[in-house]
Structure 1
Amino acid sequence: MNSIMFNYENPSYFLPVKPPILSNEEKLFYLNKIEMLLKSRNAVIIAHYYTDPEIQRLAEKTGGCVSDSLEMARFGNSYPAKTLLVAGVRFMGETAKILNPEKTVLMPTLKAECSLDLSCPIKEFNSFCNDHPDRTVVVYANTSASVKARADWVVTSSIALELIEYLSSLGEKIIWAPDRNLGNYIKHKSKADIINWQGSCIVHDEFKLAALKNMKRIYPDAGLIVHPESPKQIIDLADAVGSTSQLINAAKQLPHKQLIVATDRAIFYKMQQVVPNKELLEAPTAGEGATCRSCAHCPWMELNTLKTISDSLELGGSKHEININPALSKAALLPLNRMLDFAKKLKN
C-alpha cells in the first residue's frame, strides 16, 4: 500500500511514479499475449472508464466490460469466467472479490490506489461514526473493504441521490463518506440531514473556476458536463451533472455540438463513441495556483498498462491477486448487497 500522510482537513499523498511508455511493437506484443492468457485462464477484463483507451478497447474486443463502478460490480457478479481481471483502482478489485469470493480476482497492480479511499482510514472513520451513533452510515464505493464493513450502505455516484432521498424519507440522518463535494451536492439536492467526511478526489477537486469561465468565453456555445465530485462552483455552472455513465448519456442528450467535460479525460474514449459528431473539450485544471497533481487524469488509474495486465494474468501471486479476510468480506458484503438490491429496484 502506498504511504499516506493523513490530515483530516487536508490529506496529502505520495503520488505514484508514471509507468514507462510502451513502444508500438511492445503494445502489439502485449495485446496478443493478453488475448491468449485470457483464454487460457478463463478470464475476463472488467475496466473502468478512466483506464487508458487501449485497455478499454481490449476489454471490449475480448468480451469484457467497460463501465462505471456500479456496472463493474454487476458484471463481475454475473459473468461466468473463473478469473476477473479488474483494470481500475484497488477498491474496485476488493469489491469484485467481496461479491465473488469463489473467483480469482486479479489487478494489474495492487498499488493502484484512490485518493478518496486513502483519505478515509478505518481507525479515524470508526471514531467519527462512534461520535454520531444515531446516524445511518453511507459510504461511497471508493473506500476500503474495512470502511465498507463499517457502513450500513455502500453507494455509487449513479444512485447516490436516489438512495439518500429514500433514507431521508424514512427520517434517517446520514453520515456520508468520504467525498465532501459529492456529499454537499447530494445534501443540497435532497435536503437530507447529512454530515460529511472531508475527503476529496484529486482529479475532480482540481477543476478551476476562473480558468473554466475563460474557457466558456472562448467556447460560448459549448455545454458543460460535470461529475459531482467537483467543487460546488464548478457544479453550479454545469448543464448536466452526473456519474460517469450519466455524463456519457448527457453528452448524447444535450443539444450542444461542443462539450466541456469536467471529469477524468479517459472517459473521452467511450463518450466519443456515443457522440462521434461532437467535439469534446477537457475542463481546465490549470491556473489559480493549481498543483495539477492529476491534470484531469487519475495517476493511479495510469498504473494500469498492457504490460501490467499481461503480468497479472501470467504471474498472479501477491503482487496482483486480491485476497480479503473472510470475516471482513462477509461484513462488507451486506451493505454492498443492499446497494445492488436498491439499484435493481431503481431499474425495474
Structure 2
Amino acid sequence: MNQAELIQTRLIENLDYSFPAKPKPLTEAQQAEYIARIKDLLREKNAVLVAHYYTDPEIQALAEATGGKVSDSLEMARFGAEHPAETLIVAGVKFMGETAKILTPNKRVLMPTLDATCSLDIGCPIEEFSAFCDEYPDRTVVVYANTSAAVKARADWVVTSSIALELVDYLDAKGEKIVWGPDKHLGNYIAKKTGADMVMWQGACIVHDEFKTKALEDLKAVYPEAAILVHPESPEQVVNLADAVGSTSQLIKASQELPNETFIVATDRGIFYKMQQLSPHKHFIEAPTAGSGATCRSCAHCPWMAMNGLAAIAEALETGGPKHEIFVDPDLAKRALKPLNRMLDFKA
C-alpha cells in the first residue's frame, strides 16, 4: 500500500457522519403561509430561488413559480451567474452555494442552512486530497462538483455528472492521465467507458451507494416491463442493470424519451417531482436501498437535501447572517474560479 492509499484507508475507516434531524413537517396551512411569505421576500430582496432536483417537491414548485430554476448543479451555477437578481438563495447543499458565490462574488448568496453538506464533500478533506494529488504530480486533477471550494481550487478541472464522461474522454484523447475525486463509483464508470488512465479517490454518495443489486433484480421481476434508470454514482453492479445511466438531467430526459410506462429509478427520490411533472402518465418507483447488509442511512433521499425546508428559506431571506450567508475567501475563490470556468466553457 503506497502513501496515497494509506491516507484514504485511514480517512475512510474513521469517517463518522452526523446526520441532521429532519425538518418538522408543516401542515397545509403552514406551507401556504410560508410560500406566500417567501414570494413577498423574494420580491422585496430582489432575490431568486435556485433549487436542486433532489430538494423536496414544494421547494422545486416554489422555485418554478417565482421565476427561479430547478436543475442539476451545472445549470444551477450557470443560471445563478446569468440572472440579474442581487441575491441568490440556493436550495441544495453547501458546495452549491459556494460555487454560486465563486461565480458571482458581487451577489449575496444565501442558503436555507449552511449545515446542509454532502458525504462526498465530507469524505474528501482538502489536506488529505491534496496529499493524494501530490503522489501523482504528472496527472491532471479532475474533481466532481460535489466538493468544497478548497478542493476545487486544487483541481485543474471541475465537472458535474452531466459532462464528466465527455470531459474525461476529451482529456484522454489528449494523452492526459487523471487523478479523479471524490466519487469512486462515478470514476470507475467513466474509466470503464473511456479507457482513461485514472487513479481514484475512494469517496461515495450515501444515497447512491445504498442501492442493492439483488433487491433491484427482485423488483424488476415484479415489474418486468419497467426500465431501470441509474445514476453513475451507484455501485457498478447496479449500473450494469440499467436501461439508461446518466446525470439527473439525463435521467429525466430518458424518462421522457423511453417508451416504457413504468420506471425503477436509482437516484434520490427528489427527482420524481420533475419526472412526474414532465410525464404525468408514467409510473415511477424507487430503486430499493433495503436488503442484505443495508443500513438505509439515506433511504433514497439525501438527509442534508431534506434540510431545505420552507421555514428555513423564509428565515434565510428575513435574517441572512452567519447561519445562512455564504462567504468564500477571495484568494481561494480566485483559484477555484479557473477550473469552474473551464467546466462552464467546456459545455457552453
Give the TM-score normalised by structure 1.
Answer: 0.96
How far does the alpha carbon of each residue in 1:245-275 deviate from its partner, in whole angstroms, 9 at most, with x for none? 0000000111111000000001000011121
1:189 to 193, 204, 215: 193
Match of 1:147 among 127, 146, 151: 151
Between the aligned partners of 1:263 and 1:14, the Cα distance in structure 2 is: 22
Q: Counterpart in 1 of 2:94?
A: 90
Matched, 1:120 2:121: no
d(CA) in 2 for partners of 1:255, 1:238 = 15
Corresponding residue SS for 2:347: helix
1:236 aligned partner: 240
Say if 1:10 and 1:163 are closer, same or farther in 2 by CA, change over 3 A.
farther
C-alpha distance in structure 1 between counterparts of 2:282 and 2:176, whole Å: 43
Larger mean Cα displacement after TM superposition, 23-32 or 161-170? 23-32
Superposed, which structure 2 residues align to 1:32-43 within 5 Å?
32-43=36-47
Deviation sequence 1:304-331 (CA, Å, 0-9, x none):
0000000000000000000010000000
Q: CA deviation at 1:122?
A: 0.3
SS of 2:39's partner is helix
Q: Is the 8 A contact 1:47 1:66 kept in 2?
A: yes
The equivalences for 1:321-332 within 5 A come to: 321-332=325-336
Alpha-carbon distance between aligned partners in 2 of 1:104 and 1:291, rounded to the nearest angstrom: 39
Task: Structure 2: state its 5+ residue gaps.
Answer: 1-9
AA matched with 1:336: L
Q: 1:22 aligns with which of 16, 19, 26?
A: 26
How far does the alpha carbon of each residue in 1:175-201 deviate from its partner, in whole angstroms, 9 at most, with x for none? Answer: 010000000000000000001000000
What is the aligned length?
A: 340
Q: What does the per-residue CA deviation read over 1:196-240, in whole Å, with 9 as the maximum and x for residues that have no partner? A: 000000000000011101101100110000000000000000000
Letter in 2 for 1:259: F
Name the SS for the 2:162 alignment partner: coil
Listed as ranges, the matches of 1:1-348 within 5 Å are 7-8=11-12, 11-344=15-348
Detail structure 1 runs of 4+ shifted over 2 Å in the superposition: 6-12
For residues 286 and 267 of structure 1, the distance between their equivalents in structure 2, rounded to whole angstroms, comes to 19
Measure the CA separation in 2 of the matches of 1:67 and 1:9: 34
Seq. identity, %? 65
The alignment partner of 1:322 has SS state of coil
**CA distance, structure 1, for counterparts of residue 130 and residue 44 of structure 2:** 43
User: For residues 109 and 23 of structure 1, what CA distance do their matches in structure 2 show?
Assistant: 21
1:105 counterpart SS class: strand
- Report the residue type matching 1:245 in the other structure: S
In 1, the alpha carbon distance for the partners of 2:15 and 2:23 equals 24
Secondary structure (helix, strand or coil) at the match of 1:17 reads coil
Q: Is the alpha carbon distance of 1:9 and 1:191 closer, same or farther for their aligned partners in structure 2, counting shifts above 3 Å?
A: farther
Partner of 2:4: none
- Alpha-carbon distance in 2 for matches of 1:122, 1:116: 12
What SS does the corresponding residue of 2:158 show, helix, strand or coil?
Answer: strand
- Structure 1 residue runs without a partner (length 5+): 1-5
| Contact 1:260–1:283 (CA under 8 A) maintained in structure 2 | yes
Deviation sequence 1:22-44 (CA, Å, 0-9, x none): 12221111111000000000000
CA distance in 2: counterparts of 1:150 and 1:219, whole angstroms: 45
- 1:8 shift after superposition: 3.0
What's the secondary structure of 2:284's corresponding residue? strand
Q: Which amino acid aligns with 2:322?
A: S
Structure 2 CA distance for partners of 1:10 and 1:192, relative to 1, 3 Å:
farther
Tell me the distance in 1 between the aligned counterparts of 2:14 and 2:277: 38
- Paired AA for residue 220 in structure 2: K
